[in-house]
Amino acid sequence: MHIENLIDELGGFGRFQRLFVLFLSTMKIPISWSLLMMAFAGIEPDWFCLSRDASSNWTSTNETAGKCLKNTSICGIRKFDEEMITAVSQWGLVCEKRWITGFIIAVQMGGVLLGAVVAGQVAGAYGRKNVIVAAIVVTCIGNVVSVFSTSWVMFTGLRVVLGVAAGAMQAINYIYQLEFVNRKWRVGLVVIPAFPVGVILACLMFWLSPNFIHLHIAGAVISLPYVIGCFFMPESIRWLAVKGRVSEAKALVTRIARINGRPEPDTTILEKIAAEEQRNHAMLMTYSYLDLFRTRQLVKTTLILCFSWASSSIVFYAISFGVADLSGNFYVNMLLMQVTEFPALMLVVVITSCIGRRWTCAVAFCGTSVSCFVLAIAVVYVPSEIEGVLITVLAILAKSLLIIAWHGLEVFSAEQYPTVLRNLGMSACSSGARVGGIISSQVLALGQGRDLMAPYLVMGVVSFVTGAVCLLLRETKGEALEDTLTRVKTETVAEDYELQTPLTT
């Protein structure tokens, strides 16, 4: 049972939906700053050693530039280039402390994982809006407090807090938008390039003022309008209906119809959904992550999707955090990485409409795999005079294909679950992605510096496997979003019947 026809009668994607989607999607801009902060704060500026001469004056030589010397008579103090201030230069995270940068990334992604897990349960029980409000408020406050970090330990703790907010936002943001639009616009929601726009703005900000503290200040400033605006957002019609808050759902339908200039539609379906869900609730009590494994079909779907999101995250963050390891100018490479996402996002709409969600994911993941394998081979066999440019191009191509795969997967995943499980399902997927984010820092560490062969071989393998397992999922192109467990129950009965019925000749 679903309310797809009701959404259609409200205009599908009228004035209200356009404003709502614009506001929510651009909320990813400050979130992107939080997630990729360490791509900037983790840069290692040029540095050299200072030692005391016979007159006890501090001196330096070019021979000590960037060298990890333990002899304090040669390297008493490490002096960083003051034109760029990062977490690395702020707390001297080089040589014996170089591991701390990867550790900060890993624990930040741990926070994102925690946020995704908690958000799924909370959004299902207390509403989508409350999670979004809490996430953006914490993002704003967390950036302000980060400005006053006195040690890398305090900075790391705040990265965890900001990671929790980012994880909650990423887990709920798309679903929140999805539940207000009709099936025609589901893919269109994921191709709004708010995330790459946010990273481009952060890159330009860091180029103009290469100080990670200024990035935090700017992050707090751009979060503030969303903190104010999100209090005026409505709750999801679908969520209100399945929670039995029919009068609120009807009032919201009336409001949307008025804004969209449409006649008020018949809202009988809301009462039917509320009644059906009340019966389900009486039998099943409350929903939890365990319900994602209620049937064999749900088990298969959930495991495949969680793995696919994890592998997507491994490749995405390994490439993103590893931009500094590519040859050429860091800012140019980072901008190219983001700019090429725009055509990739547009292709998501075209490809998913032509060949469906399943094959879009499979083909794009396999394309990512090929790009990663070719890059790993190029590191060894391509002449040094063209190696740098070729590797950068292949890294950008791999990320662009991954963007097509991951955004197609995002739509594909949301369409697999009914409303009563959609937040839990998507949060489980998002949690898988956060596990992948944690692993990505270790994948990068396989390179032991700037050796890209091992990391990209690993990324090539996981991308290929992901493309293959995506073919095991059911195609959802053109299907209505389910709101209750009716179809899942029907599939379960059919499965049991097939198992119990003997084969006949």
pLDDT tens column, 365-377: 999 999 999 988 8
Out of 29-38, 72-81, 163-172, 275-284, least confident range:
275-284
The domain boundary, picked from 234, 257, 284, lies at 284
The pLDDT value recorded for residue 154 is 94
Q: Are 266 and 296 found together in one domain?
A: no
Domain identity same for 177 and 299: no
Q: What's residue 503's pLDDT?
A: 38
Cα 233 to chain centroid distance, Å, stands at 22
Q: pLDDT above 70 covers what percent of the chain?
A: 87
Same domain as 259, residue 146: yes
Share of the chain above pLDDT 90, in %: 18
Q: Could you tell me which residues are beta bridge partners of residue 79? A: 48
Please say if the pLDDT value at position 1 is more than 80: no
Q: Does any domain span residue 13?
A: yes
Same domain, 220 and 312: no
List strands edge to edge, sheet with 77-80: 58-59, 47-52, 77-80
* pLDDT of 497 strictly over 50: no
Residue 59 falls inside a structural domain: no
Q: Tens digits of per-residue pLDDT, 196-222?
A: 888 888 888 888 888 999 999 999 999
Clarify whether residues 274 and 390 are in a common domain: no
44-71 pLDDT tens trace: 888 777 776 655 566 666 565 666 766 5
The least confident of 165-174, 287-296, 314-323 is 287-296
Domain check: are 245 and 293 in the same one? no
CATH number at residue 120: 1.20.1250.20
Interaxial angle between packed helices 419-445 and 152-178, expressed in degrees from 0 to 180 and rounded to the nearest 10? 140
Residue 362 to residue 378: CA distance in whole angstroms = 24
Nearest to 165 by CA among 27, 312, 317: 27
- Predicted confidence at residue 504, as pLDDT, reads 38
Q: Are residues 186 and 95 in the same domain?
A: yes
228 and 262, same structural domain? yes
Query: Quick one: 263 exposed, middle or buried, by C-beta within 10 A (0-12, 13-18, 19+)?
Result: exposed
Pairwise CA distance, residues 6 & 266, whole Å = 8
Q: What is the DSSP letter of 211?
A: B
Which of 284, 316, 340 is the last residue in one of the domains? 284
Residue 139: name the closest of 29, 248, 60 by CA. 29
Q: Which domain holds residue 418?
A: 287-478
**Total length of the chain:** 505
Rounded Cα distance, 474 and 155, in Å: 44
Which of 262-271, 333-342, 444-453 shows the lowest mean pLDDT across its residues? 444-453
**Beta carbons of 464 and 369 less than 8 angstroms apart:** yes
Write out the DSSP string of 399-416: HHHHHHHHHHHHHHHHTT
Return the structure tokens found at 477: 């192109």
Asked whether residue 57 is domain-assigned, the answer is no
Whether residue 303 sits in one domain with residue 273: no
The first and second tokens of residue 98, run together, are 């170089």
pTM of the model: 0.73
Q: Among 284, 305, 338, identify where a domain stops.
A: 284
Whole-number average pLDDT of the chain: 82
Distant-in-sequence, close-in-space partners of 498: CB < 8 Å, separation ≥ 6: none
Indicate if 299 and 182 belong to the same structural domain.
no
91 & 234 share domain: yes
Residue with tokens 């002449």: 383
Please state the domain count of the chain. Answer: 2
